[in-house]
Amino acid sequence: MKEQFNLNVIDHSQELQTIKEKYGEFYFRDERSTQEAAALWGGLETNKHGVATSVIIETLIKEKGLTVEIKLARTLKDHWLIGLNVHASTYGMGYMPSAWDREGYADYGSARKEAIQRLKDYFTRSTSIKEHSEIIRKLTEAQTPQLSFF
């Protein structure tokens, strides 16, 4: 079951659809469309296809041949976009933050929580992964930072 958080979500899906329609079926081949998409986020360092080139990578799990990471890109407007990486010897998935992301987040904490939730959803759907309940437990711990007693 997906947990609900108070996230500061920014939705640019309509604006991105307008850009795609303006440039046609092969919008992704036109660097002008990518520049317009990046401008929606207030500016974002990307390659010519809109993939963020500067990201913060946080490794949440790295053990027994499994790597689970979140990748967060900060825009010039201080908005945050999400990417994920799951890598194991027999399965995996991943994507980078992009100017073409329909949703972004107004703060780092919201983006991080949502990225971890997406990972939890992935492992919940992946019933073939034997250790998924342990992975979900570790992700839940990472999603809820503990108070420091220092």
Q: pLDDT per residue over 50-66, tens digit each? A: 999 999 999 999 998 99
pLDDT bucket at 127, cuts 50 / 70 / 90:
low
β partners of residue 9: 105
Distance CA 53, CA 31 (A): 15
Look at residue 2 and tell me if it is in a domain.
no
Distance CA 149, CA 83 (A): 31
Look at residue 148 and tell me if it is in a domain.
no
Look at residue 3 and tell me if it is in a domain.
no
- Which among 70, 72, 44 is positioned nearest to 122, based on CA atoms? 70
Distance CA 5, CA 67 (A): 25
In total, how many domains does the chain have? 1
pLDDT at position 44 over 90: yes
**Alpha carbon distance, N-terminus to C-terminus of the chain:** 34
In which domain, by residue range, is 49 found? 9-143
Look at residue 110 and tell me if it is in a domain.
yes
Look at residue 4 and tell me if it is in a domain.
no
Look at residue 113 and tell me if it is in a domain.
yes
